[in-house]
Structure 1
């Protein structure tokens, strides 16, 4: 065999050996331990999932104690107040510590969960724009939600169906309705401000209950 032939045989042998080594390294070993599958994720009750809001609407009338308006306020307190000497629903005294952040309810008239009539609620508007009424004027629109809560876990959701502006001097019989469908009637002072405690207009939101027996009765009727 010539020297050239010997060199060619040697090169071919080296190539074959390299191919064998590569295949041996890449070929899966059937006896090799397989990676364990990832452990299932453990969900601890109460740590991840949250109960749905208004998934169990109240089936009876209740005294409102808290109101939430998404994007405006969360669990704001509700103070039940008697009417004044002129038979007008009272607002919180402006000197009260919570006057800017709380609602007032016309106690003891119509309650959330009753079969008919308006639940009368009010809140203050402040000249500097920092009170609850100011935030409602800026953000609460038709289609938005109002969540009313009471003692013992009572809860009702309402959907805003109408927003109107009236002159304070004209009043509103619609606001005081007792025999109509069950709803919230929420009122605040609104601009222009004519002087201390004197606002020319009132803004009123009407909101109907969602998912309650009362709401279903209205829809069926």
Structure 2
């Protein structure tokens, strides 16, 4: 009986050892298999939705709501030639001739102070500017670029009056242009500059005049 009991214990120990080896092998196989599994791809964040940049609104056309009553002009614009050039309100001299800008101020305009104001329903708004022999003054720029169809915009703060050139003419200084300074009749802007040949300081053979009628928004 003792021998039989010993054999039984030996057989149980042998079985236990075999089971332990099998479990160890199975565990190792599972670990190795787990290590061979492909890694999951990293989550890709959703693409950001592009945002559009608002297009800035175009600047308001000053001619869309022109002044309906007269005002004293402060600036004058002629697209492509003058951008908000200064306008000086100057009185007439003792002989009744409209004032002109100082000789040193080659880029400003003079407006006939006390005369017809831009935005008025009748009469001529009188303006002038210098022409220089070296070609650098505002009058030279107008002579080179302002033609029939050109636009003239007079402003004072938010108020504006817009005009379209309907006539450009050159006359002898000695002849003048009858009616250029009319205070009645259809409203117009009249710009006068020296032109032709320079005979001396402030003395030119001709005058060029631009006549412009009230314009509407473009």
TM range (shorter): 0.7 to 0.9
Partner of 1:198: 203
Partner of 1:12: none
Equivalent pairs, count: 175
- Mapped to 2, the partners of 1:118 and 1:150 lie a distance apart of 18
Gaps of 5+ in 2: 1-43
Partner of 2:214: 209
The answer to whether structure 1 residue 81 and structure 2 residue 52 are counterparts is no
1:133 to 139, 154, 157: 139
The answer to whether structure 1 residue 71 and structure 2 residue 80 are counterparts is yes
2:181 to 143, 152, 176: 176
Structure-2-length-normalised TM-score: 0.74
Partner of 1:165: 170
1:156 CA drift (Å): 1.4
- Structure of greater Rg: 2
1:211 CA drift (Å): 2.7
- Mapped to 2, the partners of 1:37 and 1:183 lie a distance apart of 58
Runs (4+) of structure 1 moved beyond 4 Å? Answer: 35-38
1:37 CA drift (Å): 9.2
- Mapped to 2, the partners of 1:104 and 1:48 lie a distance apart of 34
Gaps of 5+ in 1: 1-32, 213-221
CA RMSD of aligned residues (A): 2.2
